[in-house]
Chain A
Amino acid sequence: MKTQLSQGLSRRDFLKLISLTPISVFARPLSQLAAAVNTEAPNIIIIVFDAWSASNVSLYGYPRQTMPNLERFVENATVYHNHFSAGTFTVPGTSSLITGLHPWSHRALQLGAGIIAEHVRHNIFSALSATHSTLGYAQNQLADQLLYQTDHYLDTHVPNGSLHVQNNLVYSAPLFNKDARMAYASFEYRIFQKGVGYDASLFLGPLYRLLTLRDRLRKTAKYGDNYPRGLPDTAELFVINDVVDGAIEILKNIQMPTLAYLHFHPPHDPYTPTREFFGKFAKGGLPPDKPVHPLSGKISKMSIRKQRGFYDEYIASWDSEVARLFQFLKESGLAQNSYIFVTSDHGEIFERGELGHWTPLLYDPVVHVPLVVSRPGQKAREDVHAFTSSVDILPTAAHLSGNLIPAWAEGKILPGLGGVEDEGRSVFSLDAKTNSSFTPLVNFSISITHDHHRLAYYHYPKNNYKKYEFYDLNVDPQELNDLYPSSPTVAIEMKDELLQKVEEINRPYRR
């Protein structure tokens, strides 16, 4: 895998070097770091795996052994068994992680959307900037856009493509550093489309696309031997072990105390495991067949089954590489003085005629995500079964770092990290990707999960579809038996709470 760039400098050395470059190039002025000198405070390291569903992780009871290394890591960590993402894909899910706000508040609801202006300064980096230096890296471009929105509070923003083998995004060029979000919306989505629709640039667009495709061919020929289904791809190609190595290099260079947010693309699609895991889950270990949902993409069972296998292989492949990062955290001593959060922005579904996460459906595979937290020097595994949400990460990080919990934060401190188990807590997830950010919610799905019950409300008047679904997760964790038609009392109570919430959400947007 090592490739000589020039005499004496391997490609991996080069990657290590460029992972350091942003520290000088993109660093916040030193004067602003004056406050962050309390070296006694613990680091906060937030590690996000994109599109990582608890439903496909062995730690959470999945019959396929997808993540043995994660299981070893949690021997000294706390496992949250009922943790839910507030959004269903990268933009709302990551925004909720970063802002501690529900999607209806931060309003980053659609592909390419950002946090609305009034909440841009409300983020985890600003909340901890008084005590911690801050570092952000996101492999997923959509998540990287959100980091650019909060750039003012980031001491170090590691460029998106710096750990990839292919780096041809226009927006991340230093030239557009001050206006990266607009440059992204203009170049990557319109001027150069890279395969989706027509380029707004009539002549140079296809030429650029040709160059990019040729570059992909070359990079695949060079690094693709170990990837039978092609190189991992986040619009740019990357090699998993390079990304893990790069992340280790980034963490090696942090100074106490730091808030580090590292957002990795795997196991997001396309599912491209290494050769070692290719075909590993071709058979067995499948959940029961479930009825096709009217709002699903009506994908065939065979295709879903195949893709589920690919997804599981990719998770296992990612687990085997990210084990080095876990090992580094332990051996370097970082685990001794850091709170390490490992979680996801949203899940991934392989059932009911649906595939992936571009879906209005709010079943467990989409919204139930792993959360593992390692406290400094934690010696034994702990398990928390209370219901928690991705919006809880920010207040918990603020609390652990000795900062005040911002008044705007909508989550709670996680149980086991200073918070208390709240049995009566309701956890919400929302999808409103076809709704405007500036109007009341009209076309949306919302779910409320409470005391092992879930009520989902699908409200799509434009598709002439309005329906409630209610499941008792204690007796029906696969969500097969919709109890709503029999109107149980709990469902009615949850419906009232949910409708009240929708009314509350929409009130500020009504004229």
Chain B
Amino acid sequence: MQILKNRFPHRSEIIAVLGVSVFVCHSWSIRDFLNDLPSLMLYFRLAEMAVIFAYMMAFALLESLIVTAGLAFAAAILPSKWLRDGFAYKGFIFVIIGSIAAYVFQKNLRYEFPSTQMLMLNLVIPLALIGFFIAASHVWGPLQKVLLDIQDRISIMLYVYVPIGIVSFFVVVFRNLF
């Protein structure tokens, strides 16, 4: 147990990264929901739209947890200097650049399975950017401070999005049980 505790980042740092994941995943889902709202209003009643929103929020919470858990697990198995030390700001960089990369990837990925070259580009460029920003914030202290300040402010959304996600999760479970 102690080994695990030593390998994983500190709980407060994990929560800080979770805050960013929750913010990104929920905000993106809400954007998508609002984008579809005019068409949903044509044929769904308010209660049905609320249920669709609940599915999306529950899934966003699940996705945030998976992303954060994935990063924490990576921190545990990689050399501690790579990710575990300074997990809060490194995780922040991972999530933000990963989000932009995921957005670009979504935009380019349509009906055809991408070429190996495109897949590699979509993997290598974000990893290079992540590496660059981690190195930059490691060398240049003010950048790290700015990142942590932004992360701190974003974390406030945990208090809004997580309860919404939990309530939504129970709505989905309830509807599929009864």
Contacts and interface: CB of A to CB of B under 8 A. Distances in A.
A190 B36 contact: yes
A114 B45 CA distance: 11
25 contacts: A113-B43, A114-B43, A178-B177, A182-B48, A182-B175, A186-B55, A186-B56, A190-B32, A190-B36, A191-B29, A191-B59, A195-B110, A199-B32, A199-B106, A200-B33, A200-B59, A201-B63, A202-B29, A202-B102, A203-B63, A204-B66, A206-B105, A209-B106, A210-B114, A435-B42
Given A200-B33, A435-B42, A436-B42, A175 B103 contact: no
Nearest to B103: A202
A49 interface: no
B118 to A, nearest CB: 11
Given A200-B33, A436-B41, A436-B43, 7 more contacts: A110-B43, A117-B45, A175-B176, A200-B60, A209-B109, A210-B109, A213-B114
A144 B28 CA distance: 29
Interface of B: 24-25, 28-29, 32-33, 36, 39, 41-45, 48, 51-52, 55-56, 59-60, 63, 66-67, 98-99, 102-103, 105-107, 109-114, 172, 175-178
A199 B175 CA distance: 23
Interface in A161-220: 175-179, 182-183, 185-187, 189-191, 195, 198-206, 209-210, 213-214, 216-217
Nearest to B36: A190
B52 A185 contact: yes
Contacts, number: 115
A198 B52 contact: no
A186 B53 CA distance: 8
B68 to A, nearest CB: 11
A202 B99 contact: yes
Given A178-B177, A179-B175, A186-B52, A201 B60 contact: yes
Interface of A: 107-110, 112-114, 117, 175-179, 182-183, 185-187, 189-191, 195, 198-206, 209-210, 213-214, 216-217, 434-438
Nearest to A439: B42
B175 A203 contact: no
A166 to B, nearest CB: 13
B129 to A, nearest CB: 16
B59 A202 contact: no
Contacts of A438: 45
A112 B177 CA distance: 24
Contact of A203 (B48, B67, B110, B112): B67
B120 to A, nearest CB: 13
Contact of B29 (A178, A189, A201): A201
Contacts of B28: 200, 202
A117 B43 CA distance: 11
B105 A437 contact: no
Nearest to B48: A182
Interface of A is mostly: helix
Contacts of B98: 203
Nearest to B113: A213
Given A436-B42, A437-B42, A200 B56 contact: yes
B102 A203 contact: yes
B102 A437 contact: no
Given A175-B176, A190-B33, A437 B43 contact: yes
Contacts of B107: 198
A206 B32 contact: no
Contacts of A110: 39, 42-43
A176 B62 CA distance: 17
A113 B44 CA distance: 7
B46 to A, nearest CB: 11
A195 B109 CA distance: 7
B32 to A, nearest CB: 4
Given A179-B176, A186-B52, A191-B55, A210 B106 contact: no
A4 to B, nearest CB: 26
Contacts of A434: 42
Given A187-B55, A210-B109, A113 B60 contact: no
Contact of A195 (B39, B55, B60, B111): B111
A-B pairs, 10 with minimum CB distance: A186-B55, A113-B43, A200-B32, A213-B113, A179-B175, A202-B28, A200-B29, A437-B43, A195-B111, A182-B51
Nearest to B29: A200
Contacts of A206: 102, 105-106, 109
Nearest to B51: A182
A496 to B, nearest CB: 30
A103 to B, nearest CB: 12
Contact of B32 (A176, A198, A216): A198
Nearest to A213: B113
Contact of B55 (A109, A183, A199, A205): A183
A379 B95 CA distance: 71
